[in-house]
Structure 1
């Protein structure tokens, strides 16, 4: 099978099940062959090896079941960095890059003094937000001024993926091995096992209403329900609400308690519950609250500052 034939096979196989059939096929073919999108076009007569062809066919079969491309390849780009992903963690979404952008603004605001900044990425999942933030800080802060970043999650499996991403991205080959000393991992139910105070807390918690969260998984995408369903309490039991904010109602007051004076909380929510999330921020004592829109114009990130 040539590259050209493989692209056609992939598109034809996925056309009825994926709205991005050609893109999916090209990404999977690139993962198998090591070719870029340009290579796939200009080296279209190149023959796949038997091993590559077999793997590509199996990848296409997996995609037909609804399994996301990122889970098949095990990789997803976020904020320009390559992250490892498995069904133990949510696949990083472009909308969540806004969390990193707003967090960077706060780091730049607060990095002028002698105080070493402390950051918590709660519900970290793959670690994409906290890790990207530290990688971006490395570009403009001296080593001694880099913040300490706590990556916290209730799932030990998710923390294992976050740890693998730290080891992969903070590598000796990249000259970034020293960044590992700036990271701590904490397995915790929200802030239950987190100690200390923070200048900045960022979080992308479960915030999808329960029924919608379960409906999302019917297409075979296999993302962890634990990271989607917001209509549960601290024990994982249904709240009886249907607004996706069961976790948020517990998380925000706990976060406020662990913010330093003038500390900032930034949380991701949905277009449908961002305004209610801002109300929870205000009710928990945060000031200067505001909502930021993502690239699609949807209400996405909620900001609040501790008095």
Structure 2
């Protein structure tokens, strides 16, 4: 069977996917070690039985709803190739808005504060995609010498997630001539929000993509077999691991339980003139901003690529 014939067969098998043709091309490129141009140039190539068996297994898993990124172990985010496993959320394009804003804020702070190294915390770091994308973007800016790269703390409640974050830092920042210096700027902390971080430690910038999806929406998302960790999605689970309740004692379903705890904890660890930049849902961004304003902060909400309220900046 040729690559072209097999691609058509894959498309039929995973026709329920939102993007069967793209999925088929990604799987073929991954297992054949081709880029898209090479795939097109070799579409009349015959597939070996061994290769086809490997791809058959991947196609079967994709047909169950398992995301492509979990099958290939990789996902592009902000132009960089990240390692992903079912232990972490798959990086989403909307989160790139948070990275863009974080880079702008950090560059402005660097201009204002001279040679003093800034400190950045990426709370609920997951794969580490936010912190790593911010760091790589800063290092690609000619205004930022490696010696001025901020110190990054990547924090998460999940040790398996932190392992993936460590791998991404090493893979994406460890191949530079100055990698020893760069890697020394990264610290990893297993913690339930800020519980394991000393009250004396303050950060100039706190970044976070916390669990913020309402409980019933998580149920719907996970029904399609996407297999992302509920712990990283469900915003209605308290920091003690229980289902949150509303003012009437009913199970909460607004995705704000973690955020209600995160904002005051982050505020306590924020350096003077610091900023908190947090991803939220379009359905609870305004409520998040109201929590922050009630605590005495100013806020600004940034929209995502589809024009939805997405990133809340708190300062």
TM-score range, shorter chain: over 0.9
2:161 matched residue in structure 1: 158
CA distance in 1, matches of 2:26, 2:181: 33
Please say if residues 207 and 247 of structure 1, whose CA atoms lie closer than 8 Å, have aligned partners that are also in contact. Answer: yes
Count, aligned residues: 303
Deviation string 1:120-160 (CA, Å, 9 cap, x unpaired) is: 00000000000111111112211221100100000001001
| Alignment of structure 1 residues 265-284 onto 2, 5 Å | 265-284=276-295
SS at match of 1:133: helix
**Counterpart for residue 241 of structure 2:** 236
Does 2:6 match 1:11? Answer: no
Matched, 1:291 2:301: yes
Given that 1:256 and 1:286 are in contact with CA atoms closer than 8 Å, whether structure 2 keeps it comes out as: no
2:194 aligned residue = 191
Q: Provide closer, same or farther for how the CA distance between residues 176 and 9 of structure 1 changes in structure 2, counting only shifts above 3 A.
A: farther
> How far, CA to CA, are the matches of 2:8 and 2:115 in structure 1?
59
Q: Deviations over 1:40-98 (max 9, x none)?
A: 22211112233221111111000000000000000000001100000000000000011
What RMSD in Å do the two structures reach over aligned CA positions?
1.2
Q: 1:90 aligned to 2:89?
A: yes
Q: How far did residue 178 of structure 1 move?
A: 3.1
Deviates most, 44-53 or 217-226: 44-53
Following the alignment from structure 1 to structure 2, what is the Cα–Cα distance between the partners of residues 181 and 57?
Answer: 42
Q: CA deviation at 1:285?
A: 2.1
Cα shift at 1:2 = 1.5
Runs of 4+ with >6 A deviation: none
Partners of 2:295 and 2:210 in 1: CA distance: 17
Shift of 1:36: 1.5
Secondary structure at the residue paired with 1:111?
A: helix
Q: List alignment gaps of at least 5 residues for structure 2.
A: 246-251
| 1:235-260 Cα deviation digits (max 9, x unpaired) | 01011221100000000000011000
Report the TM-score when normalising by structure 1: 0.96
SS at match of 1:62: helix
CA distance in 2 between counterparts of 1:139 and 1:190 reads: 30
Indicate the residue corresponding to 1:256 in structure 2: 267
**Contact 1:84-1:165 within 8 A present in 2 as well:** yes
Partners of 2:55 and 2:295 in 1: CA distance = 51
